A and B are shown apart, each in its own frame.
Chain A
């Protein structure tokens, strides 16, 4: 059913639609906030977007493999509470790096638990990661029952204000992630990932290690969630066991706006990165447009639904012609 021109264009360049959306959103934002490309303003936006971008990248890889990960927000919360309670406001930089490493291990482990149940026990991804999201969010709350704790101010400051040669830190991180993705895609593993997401059964018959590939996507997602948790902890500088709960759905929306198919096998990581940025900019636009608080949620949700509906509407008209 993808034979139409727009459909063909979309499947060949899944990120195209995301790029169009991003440009539209950027233009509107630029009108409302003329100084948005000044490096300070850009940095203050990008440092807020980065945690959700990292989370979206992990989600995109899981969804490329045909799954979904609802537990990512819980993993972000665990990492945040670990850093905030173990490092502390008075902690040393060494302690911070030590617990950053531990956080990454914890994230990978949480992802491995998801992956084990989904790929080896063959459970449904949506309900499995829903169950583990309780497990992880509960664990975060167990570590830090009340908001508090924190990381050394110097480290938070480093994250917030580093702008090497006028370009915000977040762009360097994104560049590294994109380069890693481009490399990954060129390897045999990259091919396997698309094969599994496209048609797991056919992939299995052509000797693709389906279970191992699916398992790996959740480990990657857990790792990215840990990176996201580290970033958001450095952004907020404090601990809150509920910090990740609202991020899960944003990461899924980001992936879908980014043109990566929900059913797997189509898309990439660049589109979802643009999707996540677009989501952040929509939030920006709404706060700058002077919409009263009561209408904010409705406005944001409607914009997202319309954005999701546009490709379908275009397709509908193409078919009529």
Chain B
């Protein structure tokens, strides 16, 4: 029952391009200046990287099915961003350890999610929602209202700046492409990926055909946590400052990016390319609304309506008659 010939990732990308071209016609758009247009486009792509990476873990848990979702992603991002910021405190040689800390802390939080979901049979939505509260609470305790730290110069260099002074490609974009390739390999070329789609489609048949469903569930949530942790590391490299609500604004957009990218929220079907396209489209819409200098109220309404239209086009579940 395919009603649209083009796949959601392609549709999201095409829509992004069309929207971007149309945005040139806006009163304060780039007009006929190609250079400005290119720099605006690269900037939007650069900003999409952070949403895209944070949405990677979300893609995995959503593909894993069984109402899989990770509502703790936003607070993990804030947590690892603050840890990185405090630990690195401006020194280049601490960056690798900070990256490791981010991944491990994220993975541990994700593992706890997995334990609650797998062994205690708490629904993923509720478990990760509760975990989000716990992590936020822990951040407040650790943070105690203020943190002192600093991002290392090398992080700014590798994340926030272009590849080289004369090549205007943002380094973050390169990181994202490599990251995307790894995600593709993980999903399409490894046993983990194969098993992930299997448990997402049908847990019972997956188990009967020898997939370790419990292990897969734990691994998926741990990995999702680690990826959110990586997102926090990247994000602080870009912003250079931390605040207690750094990650939370990325939470629901990360789910929306997955949905817009054509990954079924019921699991078993999806791709990271789709999520990447979704992240670009959502970031584009958000920044266009900001450029148009609309009041916050109108901006929210337009964002809500756009999302509704997007998912109405290709987010529909199968009808009961089928």
Give chain A residues whose Cβ lies under 8 Å from the Cβ of B219. Answer: none
| Chain B: CB-nearest residue to A140 | B297
Knowing A141-B297, A252-B129, A308-B126, say if A123 contacts B120 (CB, 8 Å): no
Does A262 lie within 8 Å of B138, measured CB to CB? no
A287 contacts the other chain (Cβ, under 8 Å)?
no
Which one of B32-40, B78-86, B228-236, B251-259 is at the interface?
B251-259
| Chain B: CB-nearest residue to A133 | B304
A window 25-66: CB within 8 A of B? none
Does A130 lie within 8 Å of B255, measured CB to CB? yes
B97 contacts the other chain (Cβ, under 8 Å)?
no
B131 contacts the other chain (Cβ, under 8 Å)?
yes
B window 275-322: CB within 8 A of A? 295-305, 307-308, 311-312, 315-321
Which one of A147-155, A162-170, A218-226, A293-301 is at the interface?
A293-301
How far, in whole Å, are A109 and B280 apart by their CA atoms in the complex? Answer: 33
Give chain A residues whose Cβ lies under 8 Å from the Cβ of B131. Answer: 305
Max chain B C-beta neighbours (<10 A), residue from A140, A241, A312:
A312
User: What size tier do the contact residues of chain A reach?
Assistant: 35 or more
The 8 closest A-B pairs by CB, nearest first: A298-B137, A312-B120, A134-B304, A138-B300, A301-B133, A135-B304, A138-B301, A141-B297
Give chain B residues whose Cβ lies under 8 Å from the Cβ of A312. Answer: 116, 119-122
Give chain B residues whose Cβ lies under 8 Å from the Cβ of A305. Answer: 116, 130-131, 133-134
Does A124 lie within 8 Å of B315, measured CB to CB? yes
B window 224-256: CB within 8 A of A? 252, 255-256
B19 contacts the other chain (Cβ, under 8 Å)?
no
| Chain B: CB-nearest residue to A137 | B300
How far, in whole Å, are A274 and B295 apart by their CA atoms in the complex? Answer: 40
| Chain A: CB-nearest residue to B137 | A298
Binding site for B on A (CB under 8 A): 1, 68, 117, 121-124, 126-128, 130-142, 145, 200-201, 204, 210, 241, 249, 252-253, 256, 262-263, 294-302, 304-305, 308-309, 311-313, 315-316
Knowing A127-B259, A298-B140, say if A138 contacts B311 (CB, 8 Å): no
Does B125 lie within 8 Å of A68, measured CB to CB? yes
How far, in whole Å, are A200 and B303 apart by their CA atoms in the complex? Answer: 31
User: What size tier do the contact residues of chain B reach?
Assistant: 35 or more
Does A139 lie within 8 Å of B297, measured CB to CB? yes
Does B133 lie within 8 Å of A300, measured CB to CB? yes
Distance in angstroms from B200 CB to nearest chain A CB is 15
Give chain B residues whose Cβ lies under 8 Å from the Cβ of A124. Answer: 259, 265-266, 311, 315, 317
Distance in angstroms from A228 CB to nearest chain B CB is 20
Give chain A residues whose Cβ lies under 8 Å from the Cβ of B312. Answer: 117, 121, 123
Report which of B126, B133, B256, B319 forms a contact with A127, defined as CB distance below 8 A: B256
Interface pairs (26), CB distance under 8 Å? A127-B259, A127-B311, A130-B256, A135-B305, A136-B304, A138-B302, A139-B301, A142-B298, A200-B320, A253-B129, A253-B130, A256-B126, A262-B123, A262-B125, A295-B137, A297-B140, A298-B138, A301-B136, A305-B133, A305-B134, A308-B122, A308-B126, A312-B119, A312-B121, A315-B120, A316-B120
Max chain A C-beta neighbours (<10 A), residue from B67, B137, B295:
B137
Does A134 lie within 8 Å of B303, measured CB to CB? yes
Max chain B C-beta neighbours (<10 A), residue from A131, A137, A145:
A131
Does B126 lie within 8 Å of A262, measured CB to CB? yes
Knowing A128-B311, A130-B252, A256-B126, say if A301 contacts B301 (CB, 8 Å): no
Give chain B residues whose Cβ lies under 8 Å from the Cβ of A201. Answer: 320
Give chain B residues whose Cβ lies under 8 Å from the Cβ of A131. Answer: 256, 304-305, 307-308, 311
| Chain A: CB-nearest residue to B302 | A138
| Chain B: CB-nearest residue to A297 | B137
Report which of A138, A301, A308 forms a contact with B297, defined as CB distance below 8 A: A138
| Chain A: CB-nearest residue to B315 | A123
Distance in angstroms from B32 CB to nearest chain A CB is 33
